[in-house]
Amino acid sequence: MIRLLAAALSLAHINAAFAAEWFIVSQTGRAEAGAAFEVTVIAPAGEALPSELDARLKLEVAEISLTLRAGSAADNGRRTYSATMPASAVGPVRLQLVDRPSNVLALVVARRDAVQSLTMGAGADEPPLSENEPMYFVIGTRGDTTARFQLSFKYRLFDADMGIGEGRPWLSGLYFGYTQNSLWDLSSESKAFRDTSYLPALFWKWERTGERAFFDGARLGVEHESNGGQGDTSRSINIAFVRPEWRWQVGDGATLAFMPKLYTYLDKSENSDIDDYRGYADWRVRFDSGVNWIANATVRYGTASKGSLLLEVFRRTRDVKFGPVSGYFMVQFFAGYGEDILDYNVRRKSQLRFGFAIVP
């Protein structure tokens, strides 16, 4: 009984506090350092919304005073205000009214300065560990039943706001990448893996932030690919590559990207004729409808007029989730030479597989 009474009193106290509280809300929850941002302030019943409001911005342990100035007339107890986000702000910040009981609004502040001009346009919003190439599992039957799956991630080695990267902002564009691609022979008695490729890479990433640039993004780096085999089954190459990127708006929210990966072989002694089948470029095109469909195409054309084609089509499934991650239904088609590095000079039957992807 006492507990019920205490809970009732507590609930009454909370309701009274909310009834008299001012609220600050944001449509996006984001802002840019040094740029104007907008919030909407909702006043308690009967309270006037002045043309200016004093606010306090908390950056980690620091506090900065801001003046919120009205950008529109009050409407049904709410009014839009704007202010300039301090240039020193970055990452999560908290905003609260001064001299008025209000909630604490959390905002994520991105930097649009020389640091991001040297790295990627949205680098401040990208977590240190993020996706790299598509991640999927697909299965198909033609001749043999095989599955193909790929895992891939990249890790930003330096942070522009601390440590070595603080005084050298260009280092925040340096990444370690890792991709692993496996072919699984489900028709064999032991269900053995036919081959697995391991691809660690070190690269520098840049993305356009201004209006004038020859291309929209680029990667420059070195990459090792091997299958971990021994003797006659051992395959490995080392390459230096550059991957420029161009993107175009081709419809209502749809984008088309061309991102060829151009490379030279630093070492190919275990498979000296691999350029006959792969050439010196992966010609990549990507289409994103902006709604539900994504498609990738990769073409390799070797110096001996032999090559391969990889087509991937993804369908967003926003209502299907594995934990917090949305999924994609996937169809993959491969034709040509060298679906795995072990058989880089072998042409098997073309393969059509179906499955699921986490990152398209």
Tell me: pLDDT of 155 over 80.
Answer: yes
Residue pLDDT, tens place only, 255-312: 999 999 999 999 999 999 999 999 999 999 999 987 789 999 999 999 999 999 999 9
Q: For Cα atoms 24, 25, 26, give the angle at the middle one, nearest 5 degrees.
A: 135
End-of-domain residue from the set 110, 140, 158: 110
Helices H / strands E in the chain, number of each: 4, 22
Where residue 78 sits, what CATH number does that domain have? 2.60.40.10
Residue pLDDT, tens place only, 182-206: 999 888 777 788 899 999 999 999 8
With H, G, I as helix, E, B as strand and everything else as coil, classify residue 19. Answer: helix
Clarify whether residues 21 and 137 are in a common domain: no
Residue pLDDT, tens place only, 217-253: 899 999 999 998 888 899 999 999 999 999 998 877 7
CA dihedral 311, 317, 322, 326 (to 10 degrees): 80
Question: What tokens were used for 45?
Answer: 């019943």
Please state, in angstroms and rounded to a whole number, the distance separating the CA atoms of residues 50 and 46: 13
Residue 136: burial class (beta carbons within 10 Å; 0-12, 13-18, 19+): buried
Q: Which amino acid is at 92?
A: P
Q: What would you report as the CA-atom Rg of the chain, rounded to the nearest whole angstrom?
A: 27
Q: Residue 184 has what pLDDT?
A: 92
Where residue 217 sits, what CATH number does that domain have? 2.40.230.10
Clarify whether residues 121 and 102 are in a common domain: no
Contacts of the segment 44-52: beta carbons below 8 A, 24+ positions apart:
44/19, 44/20, 45/77, 47/22, 47/77, 48/74, 49/74, 49/77, 49/78, 49/79
pTM, two decimals, is: 0.66
Clarify whether residues 298 and 285 are in a common domain: yes
- Closest by CA to 23, choosing from 67, 69, 55, 71, is 55
Please state, in angstroms and rounded to a whole number, the distance separating the CA atoms of residues 281 and 341: 16
Residue pLDDT, tens place only, 307-360: 999 999 999 886 565 555 568 899 999 999 999 999 999 999 999 999 999 888
Clarify whether residues 69 and 159 are in a common domain: no
Clarify whether residues 122 and 104 are in a common domain: no
* DSSP run (H or E) holding 114: helix 114-118
- Closest by CA to 165, choosing from 217, 208, 108, 204, is 204
Q: Residue 180 has what pLDDT?
A: 97
Residue ranges of alpha helices (H) inside 182-322 are: 275-278
Residue pLDDT, tens place only, 28-75: 888 888 788 999 999 998 888 999 999 988 876 567 888 999 988 988
Q: Which domain holds residue 34?
A: 2-110
**Spatial CB neighbours of 297, under 8 Å, sequence gap ≥ 6:** 284, 285, 286, 309, 310, 311, 312
Q: Residue 39 has what pLDDT?
A: 94
Clarify whether residues 247 and 145 are in a common domain: yes
Clarify whether residues 57 and 78 are in a common domain: yes
| Total domains present in the chain | 2
- Percent of the chain scoring above 90 in pLDDT: 49
Clarify whether residues 118 and 103 are in a common domain: no
End-of-domain residue from the set 85, 110, 135: 110
Q: Residue 118 has what pLDDT?
A: 40
Query: What is the chain's mean pLDDT, rounded?
Result: 84
